[in-house]
């Protein structure tokens, strides 16, 4: 999910040498969910063959030398070992949480619960566009993500959770949000009107057209003596 943040409130949270990147006068924050398979570092130490879930709260920043980057304010993970090691080495940046995910080709429901109750919730469905959003199209959001190559601080325990690889095979798809809550952006320094939900996106395999536009194509029946292509045309 993408949030519009108050630049002044964000500036007070950032380490020295970083400034918030602004878009239309807002700082940009995201809550990013990633599902990882088992990694060699933890495969022998945990009884989990299905991997781990990660949720990171990210803020788009710019360093003193003018480089665009991403600063990660907080991480939630289903791995107790990663949370324990990360909390010690990253000074509480990690938190252990439970994840519940339901999704199909067109809808997603994600619930994250921490030690003190609900930490994050999202329920949405694929959409063709997100009106009045900071990013008017998937291409605009993809371009913005591609500029933030540098991650601070980097996740030493699950580095794949920090990386968003959009090169060639994946693309952001807009979601129509039915219900959404993010504890980090709703509490503390960013509570109140300092954080406002802007839009939600899901990273998917590249499609020829939006999911909602594909449905009528496959429902239609050809007239007698004609044929239709097996895949939607552009």
User: Could you state, in order of their start, the residue ranges of all structural domains in the chain?
Assistant: 2-207
Interstrand relation of 22-23 and 26-36 (parallel, antiparallel or unpaired): antiparallel
pLDDT digits (tens, 9 = 90+) for 11-21: 999 999 999 99
**What integer pLDDT is reported at residue 75 of this predicted model?**
87
Interstrand relation of 170-182 and 117-126 (parallel, antiparallel or unpaired): antiparallel
CB 29 within 8 A of CB 5: yes
Among left, alpha and beta (phi > 0; psi -120 to 50; other), residue 101 is: beta
pLDDT digits (tens, 9 = 90+) for 40-91: 554 444 444 467 888 999 999 998 888 898 998 888 888 766 666 655 555 5
CB 61 within 8 A of CB 90: no
Residues of the chain with confidence (pLDDT) below 50: 42-49, 92, 208-234
- Say whether the peptide bond before residue 153 is cis (omega within 30 degrees of 0): yes
Phi, psi at residue 44, to the nearest 5°? -90, -10
pTM of the model: 0.77
**What integer pLDDT is reported at residue 122 of this predicted model?**
96
**What integer pLDDT is reported at residue 36 of this predicted model?**
80
Q: Two tokens at 136?
A: 């008017």
CB 228 within 8 A of CB 220: yes
Q: What's the residue count for the chain?
A: 234
Second-level CATH architecture of 2-207: Beta Barrel (2.40)
């Amino acid at each position: 999910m993408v949030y519009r943040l108050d630049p002044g409130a964000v500036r007070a949270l950032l380490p020295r040498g970083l400034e918030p990147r602004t878009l239309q006068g807002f700082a940009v924050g995201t809550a990013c969910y990633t599902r990882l398979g088992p990694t060699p570092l933890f495969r022998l130490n945990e009884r989990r063959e299905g991997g781990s879930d990660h949720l990171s709260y990210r803020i788009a920043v710019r360093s003193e030398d003018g480089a665009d980057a991403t600063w990660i304010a907080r991480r939630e993970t289903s791995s107790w070992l990663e949370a324990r090691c990360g909390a010690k080495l990253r000074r509480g940046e990690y938190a252990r949480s439970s994840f519940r995910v339901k999704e199909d080709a067109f809808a997603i429901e994600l619930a994250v619960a921490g030690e003190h109750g609900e930490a994050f919730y999202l329920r949405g469905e694929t959409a063709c566009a997100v009106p009045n959003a900071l990013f008017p199209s998937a291409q605009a959001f993809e371009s913005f993500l591609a500029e933030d190559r540098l991650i601070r601080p980097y996740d030493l325990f699950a580095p794949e959770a920090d990386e968003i690889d959009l090169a060639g095979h994946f693309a952001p798809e807009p979601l129509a949000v039915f219900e959404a809550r993010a504890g980090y952006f709703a509490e503390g320094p960013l509570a109140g009107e300092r954080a406002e939900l802007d839009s939600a996106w899901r990273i998917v395999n590249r499609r020829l057209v939006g999911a909602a536009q594909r449905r009528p194509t496959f429902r239609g029946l050809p007239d007698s003596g004609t044929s239709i292509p097996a895949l939607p045309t552009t």
